[in-house]
Structure 1
Amino acid sequence: MTRFTAALKRVTPWAAQNADGAIALVLAVVIGVLGIMPNEVVPTEVQTQLVNAATLVIMALVATALLRDRVRQAPLEKTVTSGALAELPARLARLDEIETLANSTRKALDALQLVRVLASKHEIAQSHAEARRDTPRWSFKGGTGTYLRAVTLPECVAAARRDKRHLTVRVEIIDPTDVEVCETYAHYRRSLSDSPDATGETWTTDRARKESYATILAAFWHRQRYGLLDIGVGLSSTMTTFRWDLSATRLIMTVEDPNMAMTALAGTFYYENCDTELRLSFEQARQVPLEAYKKVPLSDEPTIEEVQELFERIEVPLPKAYNGRDVVDIARKALRAVDPYGS
């Protein structure tokens, strides 16, 4: 009896909340029981009447349950419609903004991945070789352009001549007539290492001047020998601790450490901005009149007189203290420059 009472207490709340369903269930059970009883106990006519009546009652209870559930769901549907669905356009717009931001971030990360550090002489040399391959243009900004004379300019000109194509070169170096900037540059290089570099020389003011003169002479010499070479040289009164080499495919930025450099591929943010920087810097430098290359022909092995006349014509005078040996030294550096990286 106690168990029955406890079970009744558990069932009663559920039956109260679902009275229509509970009544329909009880009626169905009762009618089902009556339907299987013998005719002697419950006559067939009585069974039929009870089944018909109970069916109508059950259908009414089911309809009542459906109407009750619809009434209960109405506030929820209203809340959903006026709340989440009303905010759906704004949320979709927000998703579009997030997608746009994600795409921009991905592009920025892709660009950053193309700026990488070169940590060895081999990597730097390989990057320079890839930059020179089939490039129609080259821009340089640095100290005196030693590597440019030794490797970059001769190989780029040779490749352009082989393919019979145009080559544009822009070079910005320190002004050899500006003793102050040459002294500053030599002091900076010497402060990093007072030992001879791969060329076998130490840095002095005189060497800095000769290296810059040699770059100017090399530009004229190559211009006279290849008609499709468009080369310009700008002279700067300020020095930089970086060296920029920029081709049509990549940028290479080197420092005095021969085992450290940085490269960026064309089309990246860093490459495009450095390209703009080099163009503007070159325009502000003092321009060497390369158009005068026809006025002073240079021999395959320029003579002392030819070199002296060239610098007088272009108004970049050699120091009065320079003798024939100094002029020969400049010509040697111009056409037989030693690779400062020893590669």
Structure 2
Amino acid sequence: MARLLSWVASNLDAVFGLVVAITVSILGITDDASEDVVNSAILLILALLAQALLRERWRRDNAEKATRKMLNESAARMDALLPHLAAISAEDGVLARARTAIDSVSMVRVLNGAEVGHAHAEARSQTDRWQFKGGTGTFTRAVTLPECIEHARRRNGTLDFGIEIIDPTDEQVCERYAQFRRSLSPRSDVAGERWTVDRTRKEAFATVLAACWHQQRSGLLNIEVRLSTQMSTFRFDLSSSCVIITQENPQTPALRIDRREIYYHRYSIELQYSREQSRRVPIEQAKQVPLDDEPSVEQTRRLFAALGVPLPRAYGDREVSDIIVKAIQARNLYE
């Protein structure tokens, strides 16, 4: 009822005209009103109609003026904001910096716990090339290299494999690496060994031996080994689908960058330049020394001599046997 009364009040002139028209019409039909009364009523109704039209036109004009004023004020405000918007959207503006930050976050995926192993397994299953850079290559010779070779065999495809590790003939870099590993854990690891200079050298020698051993047994494998006098606390595994960056501490999150991201290519360039600054091991010379399924101590000594990577003079048969076991019966220390 309140809404009805409000509507009648706001349209009083129209309601009044309607009531007059209905009343006069009824009187005209019943012949109770004279002709003069009817004519006067018609004039009154026309006057009310004209007044309603004039009022509507006045409202429309006022609304147009108000709209025009609002648009002009908005245009003035936009003109004042243009310099600020230009600064925000400029190449080095706030939006550009925010967009860069968001893109940087989205292109790098952080991996924790079991996600690291799953990411490595996925990368190994669908790649025809691999580049590793790290310490002694323990995980690479135990897991990455043999599994990549197996996947290449299953799909009947070739495999390009690159390894860059510390130089086992450089005692200084081996000492730095051993100190670094002991700083992470001074106790023996799952292999029951502590990280010493001697162990570091044996692990690196074992990776070189494993590379030659696999090369002689797979016609699908093209492998390159490089030795560096500089150590890195990071490990880089670059496949055809992604690059995975890890550290020796398994509690530290790993990073994965897919190939479609720009930083994948940046790391690919980084690894290339790092390889060029390291010493290449002439793996092709390993053909001079055929290796048995379980290489002998004598074969191993001759192999390293042919490669130009001499074993320490102090190494007896026992030390060489340790290298052979680490190379051929490599154990995954990160399980």
1:172 is displaced (CA, Å) by 0.9
Please name the residue that 2:328 is paired with: 335
Aligned counterparts of 1:222 and 1:105: Cα–Cα separation in 2: 44
Say yes or no: does 1:146 pair with 2:142.
Answer: no
Q: Within 5 Å, give how 1:277-296 maps onto structure 2.
A: 277-296=270-289
1:85 is displaced (CA, Å) by 7.7
* Matched position secondary structure for 1:311: helix
1:124 is displaced (CA, Å) by 4.0
Q: Within 5 Å, give how 1:286-325 maps onto structure 2.
A: 286-325=279-318
1:230 is displaced (CA, Å) by 1.3
* Sequence identity percentage: 41
Whether the aligned pair in 2 keeps the contact of 1:137 and 1:167 (CA below 8 Å) is yes
Whether the aligned pair in 1 keeps the contact of 2:112 and 2:253 (CA below 8 Å) is yes
Please name the residue that 1:118 is paired with: 112
Whether the aligned pair in 1 keeps the contact of 2:166 and 2:174 (CA below 8 Å) is yes
Q: Which amino acid aligns with 2:124?
A: R
* Matched position secondary structure for 2:176: helix
Whether the aligned pair in 2 keeps the contact of 1:266 and 1:272 (CA below 8 Å) is no
Q: CA RMSD in A?
A: 3.9
1:70 is displaced (CA, Å) by 4.1
Whether the aligned pair in 1 keeps the contact of 2:111 and 2:256 (CA below 8 Å) is no
Please name the residue that 2:208 is paired with: 216
Aligned counterparts of 1:290 and 1:46: Cα–Cα separation in 2: 124
Larger deviation, residues 134-143 vs 23-32: 23-32
Say yes or no: does 1:229 pair with 2:221.
Answer: yes
CA offsets 1:57-92 (integer angstroms, 9 cap, x no match): 33443343244334433422432454558999999x
Count residues in correspondence. Answer: 316
1:315 is displaced (CA, Å) by 2.0
- Identify the match of residue 36 of structure 2 among 43, 46, 52: 46
Aligned counterparts of 1:118 and 1:189: Cα–Cα separation in 2: 21
Q: Which amino acid aligns with 1:320?
A: R
TM-score (norm 2): 0.77
1:28–1:142 distance in 2 versus 1, CA, 3 Å: closer
Aligned counterparts of 1:125 and 1:135: Cα–Cα separation in 2: 16
Q: Within 5 Å, give how 1:68-107 maps onto structure 2.
A: 68-80=58-70, 82-84=72-74
1:227–1:78 distance in 2 versus 1, CA, 3 Å: same
CA offsets 1:115-154 (integer angstroms, 9 cap, x no match): 12323xx554444333322321222111111121122212
CA offsets 1:210-256 (integer angstroms, 9 cap, x no match): 21111111111111211221111111111122222233334433333
Whether the aligned pair in 2 keeps the contact of 1:117 and 1:262 (CA below 8 Å) is yes
* Matched position secondary structure for 1:68: helix
Larger deviation, residues 142-151 vs 124-133: 124-133
Gapped regions of structure 2 (runs ≥ 5): 1-8
Gapped regions of structure 1 (runs ≥ 5): 1-14
TM-score (norm 1): 0.75
- Identify the match of residue 136 of structure 1 among 119, 128, 143: 128
Please name the residue that 2:168 is paired with: 176
1:47–1:283 distance in 2 versus 1, CA, 3 Å: same
Please name the residue that 1:61 is paired with: 51
Q: Which amino acid aligns with 1:299?
A: D
The structure with the largest alpha-carbon Rg is 1
CA offsets 1:255-306 (integer angstroms, 9 cap, x no match): 3333444142523455454344333322322211223332332232323333
1:154–1:196 distance in 2 versus 1, CA, 3 Å: same
Q: Which amino acid aligns with 1:318?
A: L
